Homo-oligomer: A and B are copies of this chain.
Amino acid sequence: MKKFTLIGSGLVGSLLSIYLSKRGYKVSMYERRPDLRTNRISAGRSINLALSDRGWRGLEKVGIADEIRKVALPMKGRIMHDINSQLSYQPYGKEGQAIYSVSRGGLNCVLMDLAEKQGVEIFFNERCDGVDLKKGNAIFENFETQKKTEVHADYLFATDGAGSAARLQLQLSTDRFQYSQQYLEHGYKELSIPPTPDGDFAMDPTALHIWPRGSFMLIALPNMDKSFTCTLFFPFDGENSFNALDTEEKMMTFFTKMFPDAVSLMPTLKTDYFENPACSLGIIRCFPWSYEDKLLLVGDAAHAIVPFYGQGMNCGFEDCVVLDQLMDAHGEDWKTIFHEFEVSRKPDSDAIADLAVANFIEMRDKVGQKEFLLQKKIEAWFSTKYPEKWIPLYTMVTFSPDIRYSEALREGQRQESIMKKVMALDNIESKWDSEEVENLMLELLNG
C-alpha cells in the first residue's frame, strides 16, 4: 500500500490526515512539537480563531462539525468600542449567520484524536530538517533523542505552516522557485480579560469586540471558560509602538487613554504585556507548491496570510476540501492532483492574502467611521432587497463557500467602485434608503 507522510500535525495537517486515511491510505504524521494533548500549548500563539463556513465545510465532510460546534461560540457581529467607551454594533451577515470563536489547541486536539482513531500514526518531537525531493524522503530529528530518521514516503504533504522546512527545500534545491515573505510593520501581542468575579463574561460574548484606533487596534474574542482573549495589533517601532511602550508607566498611561473600558477589565495587563511576546505578521507567497508527484505544500506552508479576515485556518481547511474533490476526479494520478491543486488554489490564496491585508485597515480604522458604517448599512439594505444582485464582500468571503476567494475579491472591487459613487451623492446620510439610491445602484450594476 502507498505510504503518505505529512510534515506537521497542526490544524491543516491533522484534518488532511483524516481525509487521506478515510480513503484507506496509510498515513503517518510527524510533528515538531510535543503532543499538545499531554503538554500545555506554547505561549504566544493565537489562542482562539474564528471558524466560518469554509472551515465548517471542511469539518463536515469528515463528520466532525457537530463535535466542534459544541465548543464554539457564535459571534454575530462586531462591537466597536470608541475612545469614550461608547459602543456601536455591526452585524456580520443576516439573521442566523455568525462566525465562531474556537480554541486553536482544543480543535487541534480533537482533530488529532480523530486522526488516530482513523489509524493515522503521529510522531511527536520530530523536527523536519529537510526533504530529499528526488527520493521523496523527509529527514527528521527527534528533539529528545537527537536521533535522525529519513522517512520514505510515496507522497509527502508539507503541512508545516508558515515556516515550512519543505518549502525551504524547494527554495534551496529547485530552479526558478517563486517565493516571497513580506512582513507588516505591525505585530501582535495577546492579552486577556478574565470572567467577572461572579463567573460571567465581562462583555457581550455574542460579538467580536474591536477598539479601532486608526493606525492600531485591540480586539477580543470570547472563550468557553467565559474569558476573552484580546489581541493588540500595534507597530513594532515609532511613536506609538511596542518598542516605545517599554515601561509600566508608559504602557498604563497609553492603555488607560486609548482603551479605558478594556483596561478596567484586564487585571493581568501588566504581566501579560511584559511577558507575552510581540509576534510578527507575515505573508508568504510561492509557486509551484509541488515537486513532481512527490511533495505538495498545503495550508500556510503554501500561502500564509495575516489574520484580519479570520480566514487562515478556513482557507487551509478549504485546501483539504479541494484536494478531496481532486482525488475524486483523478484517482491515483497524483501528478495531476498536485498540479491542478496548485494551479486552481493559487489565485484564491493570493486573493484572500490581499483581502486580509485590506481588512486590517477596515478593522483598525474604517469601522470607527460613521461614513463606513453607513456604506455597510446601504449595502445590507440593498442586498436584502436584491439578494441575487448584491452579496456583501464580507458575506462572500465568510458565509459563501461556493464563491471562490478570487471571485469575491473581483466582485468586491466592482461593488466598491459602485459604492464610491453612491456615497458621493449629496445628503446620502438622509436619503440612503431612497428610491433614488436604489435606482442608481441598479443602474450602476447594469453598466
Instruction: Please report A residues at the B interface, Cβ cutoff 8 Å.
Output: 168, 171-172, 175-183, 236, 280, 282
- Report whether B177 and A180 are in contact in the complex, using a CB–CB cutoff of 8 Å: no
A181/B181 contact (C-beta < 8 A), A175-B280, A280-B175 known: no
- Report whether A181 and B182 are in contact in the complex, using a CB–CB cutoff of 8 Å: no
- Return the contact of A180 from the options B175, B176, B181, B280 (Cβ within 8 A): B181
Tell me the complex Cα distance, A172–B181, Å.
11
Could you say which residues of chain B place their CB within 8 Å of the CB of A183?
175-178
A and B contact pairs by CB, cutoff 8 A, 19 listed: A168-B172, A171-B181, A175-B183, A175-B280, A176-B183, A176-B236, A176-B280, A176-B282, A177-B181, A177-B183, A178-B181, A178-B182, A178-B183, A179-B179, A179-B180, A179-B181, A180-B180, A180-B181, A180-B182
Tell me the complex Cα distance, A431–B177, Å.
49
Could you say which residues of chain B place their CB within 8 Å of the CB of A181?
171, 177-180
Tell me the complex Cα distance, A178–B182, Å.
5
Looking at the assembled complex, report how far the CB atom of A164 sits from the nearest CB atom of chain B, in whole angstroms.
12
- What residue of chain B has the Cβ atom nearest to residue A172's Cβ? B168
Could you say which residues of chain B place their CB within 8 Å of the CB of A168?
172
Tell me the complex Cα distance, A236–B2, Å.
33
Could you say which residues of chain B place their CB within 8 Å of the CB of A172?
168
Tell me the complex Cα distance, A207–B236, Å.
52
Tell me the complex Cα distance, A282–B175, Å.
10
Looking at the assembled complex, report how far the CB atom of A357 sits from the nearest CB atom of chain B, in whole angstroms.
15
Q: Add 17 more A-B contacts to A179-B181, A180-B180 (CB < 8 A).
A: A168-B172, A171-B181, A175-B183, A175-B280, A176-B183, A176-B236, A176-B280, A176-B282, A177-B181, A177-B183, A178-B181, A178-B182, A178-B183, A179-B179, A179-B180, A180-B181, A180-B182
Could you say which residues of chain B place their CB within 8 Å of the CB of A171?
181
Nearest 7 A/B pairs, CB to CB: A180-B180, A176-B183, A176-B280, A179-B181, A175-B280, A178-B182, A178-B183
Could you say which residues of chain B place their CB within 8 Å of the CB of A280?
175-176
Could you say which residues of chain B place their CB within 8 Å of the CB of A179?
179-181
Tell me the complex Cα distance, A1–B236, Å.
37
Could you say which residues of chain B place their CB within 8 Å of the CB of A178?
181-183
Tell me the complex Cα distance, A22–B177, Å.
40
Looking at the assembled complex, report how far the CB atom of A18 sits from the nearest CB atom of chain B, in whole angstroms.
32
Tell me the complex Cα distance, A111–B182, Å.
37
Could you say which residues of chain B place their CB within 8 Å of the CB of A182?
178, 180
Could you say which residues of chain B place their CB within 8 Å of the CB of A175?
183, 280
Tell me the complex Cα distance, A178–B281, Å.
12
Tell me the complex Cα distance, A179–B167, Å.
14
Tell me the complex Cα distance, A280–B177, Å.
10
- What residue of chain B has the Cβ atom nearest to residue A280's Cβ? B176
Tell me the complex Cα distance, A179–B282, Å.
11
Could you say which residues of chain B place their CB within 8 Å of the CB of A180?
179-182
Looking at the assembled complex, report how far the CB atom of A351 sits from the nearest CB atom of chain B, in whole angstroms.
19
Looking at the assembled complex, report how far the CB atom of A128 sits from the nearest CB atom of chain B, in whole angstroms.
14
